[in-house]
Structure 1
Amino acid sequence: MFVLHVALQGCLRGNNVEYGVTTDTGGHIRYLLDLVAACSRDVPETRSFIATRAFDGFGEAYRTPIEVVDPKTTILRFPTDNPAYLAKEDLHSEIESFSDALIAHLEAAEERPDLLHAHYADAAVVAAKVKAKLGIPFVFTGHSLGKVKQKAMPSCASDRGFGERIAAEELALDQASLIIASSRDEAELQYKSYRNYDPGRIRVLPPGSDLKAFCSAQSSPAVEQELSRFLTEPEKPVLLAIARPVTKKNLAGLVEAYGRSKPLQALANLVIVAGTRGDIDTLEAEIAENLKDLLQLIDRYDLYGKVAYPKSHRSEDIPAFYAYARDRGGIFVNPALNEPFGLTLLEAAAVGLPLVATDSGGPNDIVETCGNGLLVDPRDANGIADALLQILKDPDLWTRFSQNGDVAVRTYDWSRHVTRYSELMTDLVHLPEPAVQRPIQLLISDIDNTLVGSVPHLHAFGNWRRVQENLAFGVATGRSFHSAMAVLEQQDVPRPEVMITSVGSEIYTLDENGVSYVQDHDWLQRICGNWQRSAVERVLRTVAGLTPQAPLEQRDFKLSYFSDGTHATIERVKQALQNAGLLASVIHSHKRYLDILPIKASKGTAVDHVRRRYGLAQTAVFVAGDSGNDIEMLQSIPQSIIVANYSDDLGKLPSLKHSYIASNTHAAGIIEGVLHFRGKQEAACPRAS
């Protein structure tokens, strides 16, 4: 596999990247270099080229046409009409000349790449031009999105180049074969406001991170000495922030929160590592303005002796800053207005620092996965201070969050990332053979505790599935599409032809390319009648015993809550909706989860919709489940399978007496159930001898 990455922004070079030297020299460059390094190390058949822009003003390294990073990775730099370094807001003026240079290079090359990977909006325009001219497909990673920035900072809509940025992101969503997102927040919320949003073509692949240096991090004399110059009581716990001093990182909001809170100042010092700088007046305007804001806030709240803001540091000092804060029982803070992912959060977690992080963006996924911190509204200064105080005042909570950071090391691993990445890229390039005929049977299974839950049984299922001719395979789950897809790919489940997600309120079918999915809009049209989402939400606010689940679990056609598990609460929900004249399905499972859907939406009705699409009889359909949110699906299909590890008393329900209760758990129970029903069919209709 030969992948050509296109990345125009910032000061990009193969080694010793000068992070923070410009506002655009940040995490996306590290992500790209780590990605190609991991591919070079872990995927023998992959070669990577990086196409970027040559420019003057920062040294010879950024004018060099060819830089060989390692035997499998090369950086190509192409000059454009304007030879000067340009910020991302001005790069749109150079896209035409850059594209012409890249296309000319590719036309003359002995070998063309199999695939382009565009990083940031401007690179997507280049990739689309290459695709139109040479037919090379591309995938897109946005890193950060214009509409998200606009929501966080509405005034930016009038900034130079902003309109071009939004248009480029729309082009990427329209033209890319696949969109790679770092988090569910990005895939399900950030992209949703775009006209060309297509959830089935987005995959969530959290970046890996090389955390070895952070797992064993220790404070250093250099860091201790540097911070002691600022702090009157250096032994106190430390609130640590590490970020470029740009507006969206909201470092001023953190200083504001600290400055307003006398209790927080009494308990902890604040350390802000905001890049390496010389004279502030010589820096880029945005960086200079933000640094001046920080200094003014420190002065306004008279925080001298309590706040450290070192002027310079070496890259190898970063682990020591984390360790310095950990050793003092501190907390890592990310107050960004939006954080697309947050590699610094993973680094802090690996060291053992609890987190307080913005609730906008990737930190949602990290904190949910690791259970190692608290999320806050980055605009709520009091909320930030309260979260920090909550952890500082509770030693048991601090210890639990600190220990849970180990999950980050196991989960956000580059080897795992590039395995999924290379599989997706290979599948995009090598399109599957067209199906010979329509399936004659359909198997739909729940995911959690049904399909997955036993690794040996899942491996057996994969082997069994591969030899099942004419059997279409799908899943029906309470998870969102992207959450379900992540679980299936991480567990190496055979790629389903059908994805029924969000408790049956959404349906996706596998595209002809065998990788992306197409949302079934006919299904949405069918279920949307009489659905009054806002009214349902208002009514349920008045029902005791309910707590809304996180924003990521809420969908256009699904409202999700935690319940107290009592029958009385479920009846109150139904009665409240009835009294308000609202039609909705109420689905309760695992004595904890409550989902409210349009009256026509459920796993069962969704399965029937898919069955009709395939033109199959009910007797050609198998369904499998384990819990309460599978009941309607199991009721509606004669050939229903309940795996042995079921919950919610499924095996005792009179309405499910037609179901086959497997003696095996999880995926092995599914196989057992299918073979059982096939045996009954063959016994009823023996083949002619």
Structure 2
Amino acid sequence: MPADHVVLCTDLDRTIIPNGDQPESPRARELLRRFAARPESTLVYVSGRDEGLLRNAIRDYDLPVPDFAIGDVGTTIYRVHGDDWQPMEAWSREIAPDWQGMEGADLANLLRGVEGLRLQEAEKQNDFKLSYYGPEDPRPEALLSEVRRRLKDNGVRANLIWSIDEQAHCGLLDVLPASANKSHAIAFLMRDRGFGDRQTVFAGDSGNDLEVLVSSLQAVLVRNAPPEVREEAERRAAESGRADRLYVARGGFLGMNGNYAAGVLEGLAHYLPHTRAWLESDS
């Protein structure tokens, strides 16, 4: 991979999609499209959405089509060529053993009766993702402890991802194979495609991005992220000695406010300053 190549891995909802309460800078998505059109760039969407909802987001918000898409909170990876989305079967084989041959319905039976949990709709489940609605609690430790206990007692190796849907005023729980998460999926894709640490940047906004935000990757937290996510990310990054790998967008970059795609691009230019010229060209 050429040294000047740039890989942007970014969450969608409330990260480049302006579907939160804060205002969007008018030129932000236009500049994101300009970045994605560069031959030196690779764009990767990293989302809780499934393929259908990813496609809807691209259409509804006029987003650039990515080169790769990590969907369903890290349980699926697609190679994208225009309208052709090809699942990477090697990723499915890598994460499958954690559930000991069980499917989502089997795990749902194990978790039946856990107070506060309600299964999400069928279309939000897949072979390696069991999703629930829960209470609007940023740290539901007792609930998560009970879920972990039941799964562990049955030999299931699971990764629990908890986040808050601010608009719906509820919590969201995704039960995934232990090896299936955004961080591992990005690392797998980087190894598979030869993307280097210094040319790759991740951007996110919510609790289900925390694992990547405080990893060894160069990470960006958009300005519109909830205060509790920012505080937790900064605390964990500092404790792990990786404060220099977390950039919190402040606004002011190219006259934009740092929310959503504006914050993503601000962070990208922080780590890889030559990308600023890409965004300013012919502006």
- Compute the TM-score of the two structures, normalised by the length of structure 2: 0.80
Q: 1:549 — aligned with what? A: 120
Between the aligned partners of 2:93 and 2:119, the Cα distance in structure 1 is: 26
Counterpart selection for 2:191 from 597, 612, 620? 612
Name the amino acid aligned to 1:458.
R
1:631 Cα deviation from its structure 2 partner:
1.3
Counterpart selection for 1:478 from 48, 56, 74? 48
Any conservation in 1 of the 2:132–2:172 contact (CA below 8 Å)? Answer: yes
Partner deviation per Cα, 1:276-304 (whole Å, 9 max, x = no partner): xxxxxxxxxxxxxxxxxxxxxxxxxxxxx
Between the aligned partners of 2:263 and 2:119, the Cα distance in structure 1 is: 33
The 5 A counterparts of 1:27-42 are none
Q: 2:142 — aligned with what? A: 568
Q: 2:265 — aligned with what? A: 671
Between structure 1 and structure 2, the one with the greater Rg is 1
Name the amino acid aligned to 1:506.
T
Counterpart selection for 1:504 from 69, 74, 78? 74
Between the aligned partners of 1:487 and 1:439, the Cα distance in structure 2 is: 29
Q: 1:537 — aligned with what? A: 108
CA 1:443–1:617: 2 relative to 1, 3 Å: same
Partner deviation per Cα, 1:225-266 (whole Å, 9 max, x = no partner): xxxxxxxxxxxxxxxxxxxxxxxxxxxxxxxxxxxxxxxxxx
CA 1:609–1:458: 2 relative to 1, 3 Å: same
CA 1:648–1:608: 2 relative to 1, 3 Å: farther
Name the amino acid aligned to 2:192.
R
Any conservation in 1 of the 2:44–2:70 contact (CA below 8 Å)? Answer: yes
Secondary structure of 2:97's partner? coil
Between the aligned partners of 1:637 and 1:647, the Cα distance in structure 2 is: 22
Q: 2:152 — aligned with what? A: 578
Q: 1:518 — aligned with what? A: 86
Between the aligned partners of 2:215 and 2:7, the Cα distance in structure 1 is: 14
CA 1:572–1:680: 2 relative to 1, 3 Å: farther
Any conservation in 2 of the 1:546–1:563 contact (CA below 8 Å)? Answer: yes
Partner deviation per Cα, 1:195-253 (whole Å, 9 max, x = no partner): xxxxxxxxxxxxxxxxxxxxxxxxxxxxxxxxxxxxxxxxxxxxxxxxxxxxxxxxxxx
Q: 1:660 — aligned with what? A: 247
Any conservation in 2 of the 1:622–1:637 contact (CA below 8 Å)? Answer: no
1:540 Cα deviation from its structure 2 partner:
1.1
CA 1:460–1:640: 2 relative to 1, 3 Å: same
Between the aligned partners of 1:441 and 1:558, the Cα distance in structure 2 is: 30
1:502 Cα deviation from its structure 2 partner:
0.2
Name the amino acid aligned to 1:635.
V
Q: CA RMSD in A?
A: 2.3
Any conservation in 2 of the 1:627–1:648 contact (CA below 8 Å)? Answer: no
The 5 A counterparts of 1:73-472 are 440-453=5-18, 454=24, 456=26, 457-466=28-37, 468-472=38-42
Any conservation in 1 of the 2:98–2:179 contact (CA below 8 Å)? Answer: no
1:626 Cα deviation from its structure 2 partner:
0.3
Between the aligned partners of 2:74 and 2:52, the Cα distance in structure 1 is: 14
Between the aligned partners of 1:519 and 1:464, the Cα distance in structure 2 is: 25
1:548 Cα deviation from its structure 2 partner:
0.2
Divergent runs of 4+, >3 A: 436-439
Name the amino acid aligned to 1:552.
E
Between the aligned partners of 2:5 and 2:78, the Cα distance in structure 1 is: 20
Aligned residues: 243
Name the amino acid aligned to 1:488.
I
Name the amino acid aligned to 2:7.
L
Between the aligned partners of 2:205 and 2:153, the Cα distance in structure 1 is: 32
1:577 Cα deviation from its structure 2 partner:
1.8
Q: 1:97 — aligned with what? A: none
Any conservation in 2 of the 1:623–1:637 contact (CA below 8 Å)? Answer: no
Partner deviation per Cα, 1:127-169 (whole Å, 9 max, x = no partner): xxxxxxxxxxxxxxxxxxxxxxxxxxxxxxxxxxxxxxxxxxx
Secondary structure of 1:606's partner? helix
Between the aligned partners of 1:665 and 1:576, the Cα distance in structure 2 is: 39
Between the aligned partners of 2:46 and 2:217, the Cα distance in structure 1 is: 17
Q: 1:7 — aligned with what? A: none
CA 1:438–1:676: 2 relative to 1, 3 Å: closer
1:648 Cα deviation from its structure 2 partner:
6.7
Between the aligned partners of 2:273 and 2:64, the Cα distance in structure 1 is: 24
Secondary structure of 1:660's partner? strand
Any conservation in 1 of the 2:25–2:259 contact (CA below 8 Å)? Answer: no
CA 1:439–1:608: 2 relative to 1, 3 Å: farther
1:655 Cα deviation from its structure 2 partner:
2.1
Name the amino acid aligned to 1:463.
R
CA 1:569–1:631: 2 relative to 1, 3 Å: same
1:633 Cα deviation from its structure 2 partner:
2.1
1:569 Cα deviation from its structure 2 partner:
1.5
1:440 Cα deviation from its structure 2 partner:
2.7
As a proportion of its length, which structure holds more strand?
2
Secondary structure of 1:592's partner? strand
CA 1:477–1:648: 2 relative to 1, 3 Å: farther
1:535 Cα deviation from its structure 2 partner:
3.4
1:614 Cα deviation from its structure 2 partner:
1.6
Between the aligned partners of 1:455 and 1:660, the Cα distance in structure 2 is: 19
CA 1:489–1:542: 2 relative to 1, 3 Å: same
Partner deviation per Cα, 1:612-648 (whole Å, 9 max, x = no partner): 1221222221000000111122233430000011127
Between the aligned partners of 1:597 and 1:504, the Cα distance in structure 2 is: 9
Query: Is residue 2:162 matched to residue 1:588?
Result: yes
Higher relative contact order by CA 8 Å / sep ≥ 6: 1 or 2?
Answer: 2
Between the aligned partners of 2:181 and 2:264, the Cα distance in structure 1 is: 21
Name the amino acid aligned to 2:144.
I
1:495 Cα deviation from its structure 2 partner:
0.6
1:437 Cα deviation from its structure 2 partner:
7.7
Between the aligned partners of 1:448 and 1:648, the Cα distance in structure 2 is: 17
CA 1:439–1:539: 2 relative to 1, 3 Å: farther
Between the aligned partners of 1:519 and 1:508, the Cα distance in structure 2 is: 4
Between the aligned partners of 1:465 and 1:450, the Cα distance in structure 2 is: 16
Between the aligned partners of 2:108 and 2:2, the Cα distance in structure 1 is: 45
